[in-house]
Amino acid sequence: MVVDYASEEEQIEAIRRWWHDNGRAVLLGVAIGLAALGGWRGWAWYQSEQGIAASRIYQEMLAQVGQGDAKAVYERAERLRDEYSRTPYATLAALAAGRAAAEADEPERAAEWLRWAVDNGRHAQLQHLARARLARVLVAQQAHAQALDTLDGEAPAEYEVLYAEIRGDALRHQGKPSEAASAYRDALEAQGRPADPELLQRKLNQVQSAHEGGDNNGASQS
């Protein structure tokens, strides 16, 4: 199963870099807040260095991703999900496991991981990325209505292009060229830059031609 992730890599890499640079400070801030509210237990939570341990497992998992070892990726992702779900690394791991499953032609497993990330993500940006990836997997599975439901709601500005393009893909496969064209126009006009503007424009041209052809056929029959 081929799922295009090119338009999402800059976003997830930016999130990953931000967490690498700021993760300790965030954990410290959370710990101080917990300590103020709950006394020494909050501080003990921080002292356990959950975030540091999760980071180490996540780095190990990335090495397995590079080697294409899907089984090892799943094992580490499961550990992060089960033991470190309060850290953003659990969500990052679910995203990586979802991608590994998609590339291993295991769409059901990919969807399972991505749904977990959507429902349990500790970072809003990661949740939106998981939502977009889940919608792509569903489109690849021809579950177009589910893909549209997944993208239902307002997207943050940085995800408008991605959401609109995937929405257009689902509508195109549903045989709704007019609605697909509208979604592709939204993607081209939204704030931000599509990963492949030429491909997006070709998609728009195709559905516009299909829509115009349908209108012409209807007119000739009448």
pLDDT tens digits, 119-139? 998 788 889 999 999 999 999
* pLDDT above 90 (res 44): no
- Report how far Cα 197 is from the mean position of its chain's Cα atoms: 20
pLDDT band at 2 (very low <50, low <70, confident <90, very high): very low
What count of residues does the chain have?
Answer: 222
The pTM of the whole model exceeds 0.85: no
For every residue of 90-130, DSSP letters joined together read HHHHHHHHHHHHHHTT-HHHHHHHHHHHHHH-SSHHHHHHH
> What are the domain boundaries of the chain?
1-147, 153-212
Measured distance CA(111)–CA(143) in Å, rounded: 11
209 or 31: whose pLDDT is higher?
Answer: 209
* pLDDT above 80 (res 67): yes
Measured distance CA(19)–CA(24) in Å, rounded: 8
Question: For 84-96, how does the pLDDT look when each residue is reduced to its tens digit (9 = 90+)?
Answer: 998 888 999 999 9
* pLDDT above 70 (res 5): no
* pLDDT above 90 (res 221): no
* pLDDT above 80 (res 220): no
Contacts of 95 (CB under 8 A, 6+ apart): 12, 113, 114, 117, 126, 129, 130, 133
Question: For 150-175, how does the pLDDT look when each residue is reduced to its tens digit (9 = 90+)?
Answer: 999 888 888 899 999 999 999 999 99
- CATH number (1.10.3470, 1.10.287, 2.40.10, 1.25.40) of 1-147 reads 1.25.40
* pLDDT above 70 (res 48): no
Average pLDDT for 142-154? 94
Compute and round to an integer the Cα radius of gyration of the chain.
Answer: 21
In this prediction, residue 148 carries a pLDDT of: 98
Structure tokens at 198: 């030429």
In this prediction, residue 23 carries a pLDDT of: 45
Least confident span in 30-34, 73-77, 145-149: 30-34
pLDDT band at 187 (very low <50, low <70, confident <90, very high): very high
* pLDDT above 70 (res 202): yes
Residue owning tokens 């031609």: 209
In this prediction, residue 176 carries a pLDDT of: 96
* pLDDT above 50 (res 183): yes
